[in-house]
Amino acid sequence: MSLRPAQPADAAAVTKVFQAARDHSLAFLPKLHTDAEDHAFYARVVQGGGVTVAEADGAVVGFLALSGNEVDHLYVDPAHHRQGHGSALLRAAQAANADLELWVFQRNAGAIAFYEAHGFAITRSTDGADNEEHEPDHRMAWSLR
């Protein structure tokens, strides 16, 4: 496994990882966008910088997108779950930042447990009225302090 900054050519692989992770772990969410819209979105995310990819055998198997101290996206291909890719991505972000925050859906118990195992704590909860999916979520935070 290795980590590296994402390149524009990684957009298709990043989109594929997101879609596989969504279909596996976030199946409770409505599919709001077409595959083409997903690809265009993640192409912009990758081009915007702040994206690190995890590779295994030369293939992108996970990614983390940071915007300041906000973890905007952290997804790992389900075929590569529990192999340390997500932990490596998150530890790298923690090593580069004194504090991090993120949103996680309340029904995504696996992600909540993952973040808690990495020192994050729930700081508030919402009914989902303000997110695109209208799904209840939690704000989680981590800090060196």
Share of the chain above pLDDT 90, in %: 80
* Alpha-carbon dihedral 76, 81, 83, 87, rounded to 10 degrees: 50
The CATH number of the domain holding residue 61 is: 3.40.630.30
Q: Reply yes or no on whether the pLDDT at 65 is more than 90.
A: yes
Q: With 0-12 CB in 10 A as exposed, 13-18 as middle and 19+ as buried, what is 49? A: exposed
> What pLDDT does residue 42 have?
86
> What pLDDT does residue 124 have?
97
Q: Which domain holds residue 18?
A: 2-143
Q: Are 133 and 126 in contact (CB under 8 A)?
A: no
Quote the pTM value.
Answer: 0.93
> What pLDDT does residue 122 have?
98
Structural domains counted in the chain = 1
CA distance linking residue 131 with residue 110, whole number of Å = 20
25 versus 102: which is more confidently predicted? 102
Average pLDDT of the chain? 94
Token pair of 12, please? 């298709």
